[in-house]
Amino acid sequence: IAGSGNMIGAALLCTQAAFKTGCGYVGLISNKAALAPLATNLPEAIWIDENPTQFPKKTTAIAIGPGLGKSERSKTLLKLALKFNGPIVIDADGLNLLAANEELLKLLPKESILTPHLGELKRLIGTADSPEQLLEKQKEFSKKHGVYVIQKGPYSKLTTPNGDLYINSTGNSGMATAGMGDALTGVIGSFLAQGYSAVNAAMNGMYFHGLAGDYVAERNGKIGLLTTDVIKALPKVLNGL
């Protein structure tokens, strides 16, 4: 569930990343402006609807937020997603909507995966006097709400509902470009759809997303590294296991 206005690209990146990570069937809920770009650039995907009232029966996981916007329509879609009886990963405007609407935060299912960058994280859990203090607040948020939180950035940090901390070892500075988080959401959503537990989807998601970025950087350098380059490299690093 992604894309709105001039952010249709976010929806395409998220959807393509899900396919490239091994998801067999990906549907996109987005406004009608996404229909033509989707059919042209990713004909394997299915445009589902603009304002659905339910999800297709074969839905096994939901990824929501990239380029979603913060309109009333976006809020309605998030509310629908939070009521889904299955795993969910939430990013970008999905997180901003949670931060701005306490009633939505109360609907957050246990075992959800949240993928904020630093700004989104602070909107969600508040500011701190140091990175260490912020990480402690992130841990407490994970424990309080029973969710997994990935603080995106150099050495992304995953906190779990039982208070564990995992620090990612892959990725590089060339990945600080537009759309990387959208791709990560698609990767994690794909792993959830394939039956990975939430903790394994979150860990493998950030690890292989970063590994694909390292694969591209080793061959082409870090300057000019695009999200589409990383998405294309995902099958190489996964099939290379």
Q: What is the mean pLDDT of each run of 10 residues along the chain (241 residues)?
A: 97 98 98 96 97 96 98 98 98 98 96 98 97 98 98 97 98 98 98 98 98 98 98 97 83
Nearest to 187 by CA among 59, 61, 3, 21: 21
Is pTM beyond 0.85? Reply is: yes
Q: How far apart are CA 23 and CA 175, in angstroms?
A: 23
- AA identity, residue 52: P
Sign for the CA dihedral angle at 210, 216, 218, 221 comes to negative
Nearest to 29 by CA among 21, 41, 20, 53: 53
Q: Which residues, in sequence order, are bridge partners of residue 27?
A: 46
